[in-house]
């Protein structure tokens, strides 16, 4: 079955020693009174819920899966409903939500850290409240006052859950060709008709109502994405008192049988004259839905981080216990029949890869969440603007780089387990299967790479990238003169310079041939991902160097992992840069008849 313990020590290190969040909060009036002890207590309690309640259900959910019982009824695996009840009663759905609607008003970065633990413990279960929080964010930003009054308190409390209904049988990422229709009714509502597929958490038995956010076309709407509108389509139409009323014409037709995340219901949703209400402006639904989509992309990055962490924890425990052969330099456990496999160099390579990716991913995503708080709440307008640019630039990197790394990390976990990794009862192969979807949904990682290079960087002539580059350069200039930091600063400065030159080269080529962007995008994103990880590993190394003499083994371990990252993982950029420079010719001039 495995194990999971919230990595509270490392979480606290990132929040308080690297990011210094308590000082940051002093510049955010609505959070200025929040202190480190309160943050730590919240995360400790969340960690207990994750390890004691959710983690024991992870394998059960995978083995049982969800059950479609006909007529739109879906049953979740054993224990899921009770765990959700406990989650709601403890107030966890309200953690980062607006107090005006019953939320606790804690910063986004606290909620983000909680979701790391939730995903480590049980990704499939976590998708139910995760999508609900995205629906809350969308309606909080774009709902009318009346819509907010009816729906937000229910979503904040967790009494109702939410979904996002985008994909249709004939279109996935290309939403411009969706066919679901919305016809206006005399009472100001709309009749929605169409079919949506791959709708995570689309039907279940956890909550009394489900709030579907549905993309559809109004009569006479422009073609393409400029003609898409967004609608609230509840499973049960709320009464005047705000309680679930009549059953709406939205129903689950079936659930998908999937490679992983079996505990989450992935549904075909049929809308048959379902009653819906317009969110935001007509024909501008994609703008409103992007609030939820971006929240989901950050959330998927946290799924990748969560799986990387739990795979590492279990791989490490197994490597310490599993006996296999002797160390090449002689027995390390002579009293035993063989040495534990952690003595072997390649096992250590895989463990340290998992560890390095998890710890850099944690620093990166917590910093990104802190920037969302800065964007929303900082007293200084220029800080808010810079924070928004950082989040916009790096959201596709969080989604793609962290989920690519998670698939690699979980596969390494299965390799460390050897034959037992391929056997279900040990639990590691589930992480591999669960991790695979994260590279696909909410925009495939190829789409994220195109978004990063084409829209976020070349689309604004590199303005946002230069802003992040200045952050890196300022750190390099401040620390580069210190001998003890040379081993971290020199490679950081080098990769920063290479990304700048690579970006200019691709931009020039793309002016002549737009396919150059598509050909370079995926290796380019991995290169930028390593630039970001290098920056955070250098920052973490700085803190660890300052405190390594204290006698706490945590800091020497952090330095050792940083050295591993720069020696073993950052060199991947030699190949990704070369691949990004290879151009589109060998791809696009290949005769289709030869495939």
Question: Is the Cβ–Cβ distance between 471 and 534 less than 8 Å?
Answer: no
Q: How far apart are CA 226 and CA 567, in angstroms?
A: 48
Q: How far apart are CA 529 and CA 534, in angstroms?
A: 9
Q: How far apart are CA 419 and CA 425, in angstroms?
A: 12
Number of CB atoms found within 10 A of residue 298's CB? 24
- Token digits of residue 197: 């597929």
Question: Is the Cβ–Cβ distance between 144 and 152 less than 8 Å?
Answer: no
Strand 209-216 and strand 229-234: the pairing is antiparallel
The per-residue b/e assignment along 49-76, b for 16 or more CB within 10 angstroms, e otherwise, is bbbebbbebbbbbbebbbebeeebebbb
Instruction: Using alpha carbons, select from 363, 359, 388, 529 the residue that is nearest to residue 448.
Output: 529
Quick one: DSSP state of residue 452?
I
Quick one: DSSP state of residue 565?
I
Number of CB atoms found within 10 A of residue 29's CB? 11
- Tell me the C-alpha to C-alpha distance, in Å, between residue 180 and each of 168, 285, 384, 541, 582: 8, 13, 37, 52, 41
Query: Which residues lie below 8 Å from residue 552, measured CB to CB, with a gap of 6+?
Result: none
First CA to last CA distance, the chain: 44
Q: DSSP letters of 137-196? A: HHHHHH--HHHHHHHHHHHHHTSEEEEEE--BTTBSS-GGG---EEEE-TTS-EEEEEEE
Q: How many CA atoms lie within 13 A of 223 on its CB side?
A: 0
Question: Is the Cβ–Cβ distance between 311 and 354 less than 8 Å?
Answer: yes
**Alpha-helical regions (H) of 439-485:** 445-450, 463-479
Q: DSSP letters of 194-213? A: EEEEEEET-S-SSSSEEEEE
Q: How far apart are CA 273 and CA 261, in angstroms?
A: 31
Strand 244-247 and strand 160-165: the pairing is unpaired
Residue 332: its H or E element: none
Catalytic residues: 442
Backbone torsion region of residue 37, taken as left when φ is above 0, otherwise alpha when ψ lies between -120 and 50, otherwise beta: alpha
């Amino acid at each position: 079955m495995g194990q999971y313990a919230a990595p509270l020590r490392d979480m606290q290190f990132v929040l308080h020693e690297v990011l210094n969040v308590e000082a940051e909060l002093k510049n955010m009036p609505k959070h200025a009174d929040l202190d480190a002890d309160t943050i730590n207590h919240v995360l400790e309690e969340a960690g207990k819920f994750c390890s004691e309640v959710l983690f024991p259900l992870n394998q059960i959910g995978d083995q049982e899966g969800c059950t479609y019982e006909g007529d739109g009824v879906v049953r979740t695996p054993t224990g899921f409903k009770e765990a959700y009840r406990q989650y709601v009663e403890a107030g966890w759905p309200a953690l980062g939500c607006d107090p005006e609607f019953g939320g606790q008003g804690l910063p986004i970065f606290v909620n983000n850290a909680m979701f790391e633990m939730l995903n480590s413990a049980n990704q499939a279960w976590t998708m139910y409240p995760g999508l609900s929080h995205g629906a809350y964010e969308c309606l909080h930003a774009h709902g009318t006052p009346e819509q907010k009054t009816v729906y937000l308190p229910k979503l904040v409390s967790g009494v109702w859950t939410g979904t996002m209904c985008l994909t249709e049988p004939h279109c996935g990422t290309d939403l411009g060709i969706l066919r679901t229709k919305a016809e206006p009714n005399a009472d100001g509502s709309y009749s929605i008709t169409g079919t949506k597929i791959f709708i995570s958490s689309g039907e279940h038995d956890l909550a009394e109502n489900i709030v579907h956010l549905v993309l559809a076309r109004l009569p006479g709407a422009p073609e393409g994405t400029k003609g898409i509108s967004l609608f609230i389509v509840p499973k049960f139409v709320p009464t005047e008192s705000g309680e679930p009323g009549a059953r709406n014409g939205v129903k689950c037709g079936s659930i998908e049988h999937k490679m992983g995340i079996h505990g989450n219901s992935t549904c075909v949703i049929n809308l048959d004259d379902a009653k819906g209400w317009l969110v935001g402006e007509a024909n501008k639904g994609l703008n409103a839905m992007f609030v939820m989509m971006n929240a989901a992309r950050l959330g998927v990055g946290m799924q990748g981080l969560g799986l990387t962490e739990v795979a590492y924890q279990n791989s490490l425990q197994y490597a310490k216990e599993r006996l296999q052969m002797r160390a090449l330099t002689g027995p390390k456990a002579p009293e035993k029949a063989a040495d534990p496999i952690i003595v072997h160099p390649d096992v250590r390579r895989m463990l340290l890869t998992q560890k390095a990716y998890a710890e850099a991913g944690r620093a990166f995503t917590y910093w990104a969440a802190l920037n969302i708080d800065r964007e929303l709440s900082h007293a200084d307008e220029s800080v808010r603007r810079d924070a928004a640019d950082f989040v916009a630039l790096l959201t596709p990197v969080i989604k793609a780089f962290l989920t690519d790394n998670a698939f690699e990390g979980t596969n390494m976990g299965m390799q460390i387990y050897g034959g037992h990794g391929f056997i279900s009862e040990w639990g590691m192969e589930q992480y591999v299967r669960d991790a695979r979807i994260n590279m696909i949904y909410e925009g495939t990682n190829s789409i994220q790479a195109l978004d990063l290079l084409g829209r976020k960087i070349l689309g604004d002539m590199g303005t946002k990238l230069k802003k992040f580059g200045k952050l890196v350069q300022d750190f390099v200039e401040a620390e580069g003169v210190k001998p003890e930091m040379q081993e971290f600063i020199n490679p950081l400065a080098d990769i920063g310079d290479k990304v700048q030159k690579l970006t200019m080269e691709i931009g020039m080529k793309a002016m002549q041939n737009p396919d150059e962007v598509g050909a370079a995008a995926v290796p380019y994103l991995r290169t930028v991902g390593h630039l970001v990880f290098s920056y955070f590993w250098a920052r973490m190394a700085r803190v660890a160097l300052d405190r390594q003499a204290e006698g706490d083994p945590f800091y020497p371990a952090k330095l050792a992992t940083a050295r591993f990252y720069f020696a073993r993982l950052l060199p991947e950029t030699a190949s990704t840069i070369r691949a990004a420079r290879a151009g589109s010719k060998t791809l696009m001039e290949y005769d289709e008849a030869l495939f």
